[in-house]
């Protein structure tokens, strides 16, 4: 069961769970970044927005996508977006550039900077992460 923080309105796993309690506007995270990154993020968001029970919120420096738990973290960088998602087995296939074991699962990272990089393969990785934590 998830819980909504009354101060920052973020949805987190447990009541009173530690989190970076800052109410942030998503657009602020894209200030002083490459202009195309907002379009890339919008494409990513439009592919995910219709999935069941997905909540999107911003923290101090990233955007989190939550179902019962966080399944995707998007960190806007100067010229690219770092996408962090989870899997039940390691994967080092391109475009994944980093994988690490974490709490019995694997954390994977992909970096994208153009609209065409949000393709079927990237979305399938994110959907698998979503399904790991689906309510």
pLDDT digits (tens, 9 = 90+) for 22-47: 667 789 999 999 999 999 999 999 99
* Token pair listed for 114: 């153009």
Helix (H) or strand (E) holding 41: helix 36-48
Distance between CA 37 and CA 33 in Å, rounded? 7
Query: pTM to 2 decimals?
Result: 0.85
Asked whether the beta carbons of 36 and 45 are under 8 A apart, the reply is no
| Domains of the chain (ranges, CATH numbers) | 23-132 (3.30.1460)
| Residue 6, pLDDT above cutoff 90 | no
Helices (H) and strands (E) in the chain, counts: 2, 8
């Amino acid at each position: 069961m998830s819980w909504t923080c009354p101060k920052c309105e973020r949805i987190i796993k447990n009541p009173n769970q530690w989190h970076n309690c800052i109410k942030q506007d998503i657009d602020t995270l894209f200030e002083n970044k490459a202009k195309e990154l907002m379009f890339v993020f919008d494409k990513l968001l439009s592919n995910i927005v219709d999935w069941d029970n997905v909540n999107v919120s911003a923290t101090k420096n990233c955007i989190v996508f939550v179902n019962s738990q966080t399944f995707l973290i998007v960190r806007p960088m100067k010229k690219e977006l770092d996408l962090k998602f989870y899997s039940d087995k390691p994967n080092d296939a391109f475009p994944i550039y980093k994988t690490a074991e974490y709490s019995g699962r694997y954390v994977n990272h992909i970096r994208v900077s153009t609209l065409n990089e949000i393709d079927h393969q990237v979305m399938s990785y994110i959907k698998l992460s979503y399904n790991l934590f689906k309510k």
